[in-house]
Structure 1
């Protein structure tokens, strides 16, 4: 057995728990929209064709914001195609995913779904094939009360009140050669700055996200952020970050340490943003919108779009089936995002349904939870108040990608009103149980309110529609408190939550 210790102290406050950290992403990709959130043939479908079971699971998951409609899809999207009578809407080729977009679901439908699911919309504008005017038109349609062409058209389409969408993404992954309308950092930076300035003329209260580099391994990374923020620092509030992780060549140890890369990624983007701030002698800080992150097995066959003359509607794409190890990694990435709540002010798990998602559906049939559903739901529903940085002392194990990595990673939150402390921890060891010792002397008088672990002797176990409960988090009965210290045994390859209160 291995031994590790952490110290909890309210003085080590990083910042508040931000609800927008627990956002998600709905893109017109694969079955995310059609047979995902919208499926009139499903037994659970409501009067608008939305799946009630998916709405219920979205609420259970604790989703705060939902980024829409992309993603790669947005760089070729004509938003006007998705408004007005459905029978009159055109079918279009989607170049991003080599599919046909029927435009059955558009802005108004998504906003109905957002209201039903209790989520905040985060809208993206097309800066790939389009530009300033189209972004202004969409903003007018969504946020202006009435008396203009686009706002009155929204009212005629059944939405009397403006949507008042606050968060807007200025394009998507514009340095990616796969992106329709990809641009250089200078080209994009100038366009994003002009678009942002014009949009603020319509609605000064909106919050704007500039595109960061599409991945930290891109040759443009770092210099892209510096150049783009050089143009947009005065106009935007956030810079985006995107990262995906997967187990490669059976290297489970490195995979379980994926958050080491995320930590470095966050530090690098923060450094680039702060460099521009210093150069411009600005007081304003640019924060991160980590609006795409997840485990994604990009080399699998079902991640390859159709080709040739095959342009299907809602094909099966990116439908990864997640196992226990994947769930532990998702938990560890959440720990990283929480730990940098001082600079990560929003995040979006990509995506919500069917496409690399915690929720899966059968067309016209059942919905179920993947293994990755559970760490996200627990963190979203239990993290309140302040994020505390923990002093961690743990043995290391060697990885091929990152060298020596602590077997334990953890973060804590504390609700100042109730005094409740919640510890979120992962055990990365593939072989050993870890005896965790928690120093609580700075927060006296606590007892265990509950403790759970998600693990399995077979870390490759995956959920199905027939069984999505066998590896749900179960009570960890080893957790206890005595003499100002808590203790618990954490199984190998596990996600763990310990709730402490009075």
Structure 2
């Protein structure tokens, strides 16, 4: 039987956008073991002088994450930021009503900022617009960003931080459309508050960027109306609108699951349309871009997390163990984000350590990489530059949730400075390899640098502390380049990263 064929044509003039590196951001919330027994474990043999695990730092640095959202998440809607600054001995222990746990505030703004420097990242700070409002938000901006000579900036200095944190990116609350949220609001209530909080935050520091809450997911009953109303009330004060969505395969329908990138793409395009509708309605010259600041696979742990004992400190929560199949979907979602780089300027894989995360730790023991670590690593390292539209001619399939799904999903990134081009490819087929031909002539491709493949015979294979290298990428030797045309076999159910050198 003849192998099915797929072709890709790349044109360096068909530019989507220069990629904002912040689309490879992530998220740390005061939730479960993300902070305590995650990034911070002072009794661990590999703890540094500040109590942060050096093995976790090494893995996070490897991912090259440019921005990390903090401190939540649902947590932020009941959080008083003042509890996490100043002398640790004076910080209160509080009940966290978002996750029904206990928070001792040993880690706060100052400590997390230290950790960010260790992992070469910046903070995306969220303010509490659930139980608090504009006054507390502008006070936090003053504490963080004002150089001195005012009450809050001088308080920061008295806490030993002489120079401003200079945080650029700020989230105006979190998932305020959700009834589960502390301080849940209607679109009108939230839109007015976001506008007023954003106004005084900007007056305090005109250099900051502001992210307004969009819908918590695409299935919210108020989706679209929420976005339109919020933007109508806060358009002049905000720069980005957030999107949140998690993906799962609870019915074990793999063909539909691996096509979820189509659902993400439709979500993005719908929100872009709403943003541009409000822009037209207001006759504004300002463009609102998107921050997809919560996305990931999340469904494995939901039943296990129905714990009965409240007010535990740093319990095991949302510790999904990811399969090889999940890694394939994460690769497809990353392709979708790159394809939409003209409007998605920030995105956060939620989360980073232990909680629905690529990096896992054992208390007192080792840290290891989950399966989803690898496609995120590849995109973060090699997906920087200019996103290019690609013409893909591929077989298609129908499944329970979608029709005419391309078997091959792909996007290209050209890095003119490094003179490299990277092709990210997902083969969604569970049965068939594809004979791929890719036309790189417009980039004057001169040689294959590498062909990385993430593959495994078992879709449900996982990594663990005992077997951390069960699912890891390998180098393929089959790709060849002749006359600017690349040829290779893309195996069934694989994530592929094909890098070539260019002469343009």
**Alpha-carbon distance between aligned partners in 2 of 1:206 and 1:196, rounded to the nearest angstrom:** 10
Q: Which residue of 2 aligns with 1:6?
A: 8
Which secondary structure state, in structure 2, belongs to the residue aligned with residue 403 of structure 1? coil
Kept after mapping to 2: 8 A contact 1:297/1:303: no
Which residue number corresponds to residue 19 of structure 1?
21
Cα distance in 1 for residues equivalent to 2:31 and 2:321: 17
The equivalences for 1:59-70 within 5 A come to 59-70=61-72
Residue 150 (structure 1) shift: 1.4
After superposition, residues 19-418 of structure 1 pair within 5 angstroms as 19-297=21-299, 300-304=302-306, 306-307=307-308, 310-418=310-418
- Compute the displacement of 1:417 (Å): 2.7
Pick which of 333-342 and 461-470 moved more: 461-470
Aligned equivalents of 1:36 and 1:282: distance in 2? 45
Residues 461, 470 of structure 2: 8 Å contact kept: no
| CA RMSD of superposed structures (Å) | 1.1
Residues 478 and 356 (structure 1), Cα distance of their counterparts in 2 relative to 1, 3 Å cut: same
In the alignment, the residues of structure 2 paired with residue 461 and residue 345 of structure 1 have an alpha-carbon distance, to the nearest angstrom, of 33
Q: How far did residue 402 of structure 1 move?
A: 1.4
CA distance in 2, matches of 1:326, 1:303: 20
Please tell me whether the aligned partners of residues 248 and 255 of structure 1 are also in contact (alpha carbons under 8 angstroms): no
CA contact (8 A) 1:66 1:121 kept: yes
* Rounded Cα–Cα distance in structure 2 between residues aligned with 1:4 and 1:192: 48
Q: Is 1:482 the counterpart of 2:463 in the alignment?
A: no
8 A Cα contact 2:321 2:370, kept in partner: yes
* Offset at residue 283 of structure 1 (A): 0.8
CA drift at 1:397: 1.3
- CA distance in 1 between partners of 2:58 and 2:69 (Å): 18
In the TM superposition, residue 466 of structure 1 has moved relative to its aligned partner by: 2.3
Provide Cα deviations, 1:287-344, integer angstroms capped at 9, x if missing partner.
000000000016632343x44x621011101000111110111111011111111000
Deviation at 1:445, TM superposition (A): 4.0
1:278 CA displacement? 0.3
From the superposition, tell whether residues 303 and 431 of structure 1 become closer, same or farther in structure 2 (CA, over 3 Å).
farther
Q: Is the 8 A contact 2:43 2:364 kept in 1?
A: yes
Match of 1:428 in 2: 428
Q: Quick check: 1:480–1:488 contact (8 Å CA) kept in 2?
A: yes
Report deviation, 1:381: 0.7
Distance, in Å, in 1 between the alignment partners of 2:73 and 2:436 is: 40
Instruction: Give TM-score, length-normalised by structure 2.
Output: 0.98
Tell me the SS of whatever aligns to 2:387: strand
- Counterpart Cα distance in 1 of 2:121 and 2:457: 36
C-alpha displacement at 1:52, in angstroms?
1.0
Q: 1:448 is matched with which residue?
A: 448
CA distance in 1, matches of 2:474, 2:29: 33
Distance across 2 between alignment mates of 1:444 and 1:359: 38
- Give SS of 1:460's match: coil
Moved more, 469-478 or 342-351: 469-478
Q: Which ranges in structure 2 are unaligned for 5 or more consecutive residues?
A: none
- 3-state DSSP of counterpart to 2:398: strand
Is the contact made by 1:226 and 1:276 (CA closer than 8 Å) also made in structure 2?
Answer: yes
- Aligned residue pairs total 500
User: Partner of 1:73: helix, strand, or coil?
Assistant: helix
Give the TM-score normalised by the residue count of structure 1: 0.98
- Contact 2:462–2:470 (8 Å) recurs in 1: no
Q: Are residues 466 and 131 of structure 1, via their aligned partners in 2, closer, same or farther at CA, if it must alter by over 3 Å? A: same
Measured in 1, the distance between the counterparts of 2:266 and 2:300 equals 22
Deviation at 1:404, TM superposition (A): 2.3
Q: Distance in 1 between matches of 2:141 and 2:40?
A: 24
Deviations 1:129-151 (A, max 9, x none): 00011101111111111112211
Tell me how far apart the structure 1 counterparts of residues 416 and 149 of structure 2 sit (CA, whole Å).
46
- Aligned pair in 2 of structure 1 residues 445, 89: CA closer, same or farther (>3 Å)? closer
Deviation at 1:441, TM superposition (A): 2.3
Maintained 8 Å contact 2:448/2:481? yes
Contact between 2:19 and 2:342, CA under 8 Å: does it hold in 1?
A: no
How many angstroms apart in 2 are the aligned matches of 1:300 and 1:43? 32
Kindly provide the CA deviation profile for residues 143-163 of structure 1, in whole angstroms up to 9, marking residues without a partner as x.
111112211111111111000
Q: Deviations over 1:433-482 (max 9, x none)?
A: 11111012222242101111001011111001122223211011111112
Match of 1:464 in 2: 464
Structure 1 residue ranges (4+ consecutive) displaced by more than 4 angstroms after TM superposition? none
1-side partners of 2:36 and 2:135: how far apart?
29
Q: For residue 472 of structure 1, give the secondary structure of its aligned residue in structure 2.
A: coil
In structure 2, distance between residues paired with 1:334 and 1:16? 15
Per the TM alignment, residue 59 of structure 1 is displaced from its structure 2 partner at its CA by 0.7
Q: Is the 8 A contact 1:396 1:407 kept in 2?
A: yes
Deviation, 1:217, is 0.4
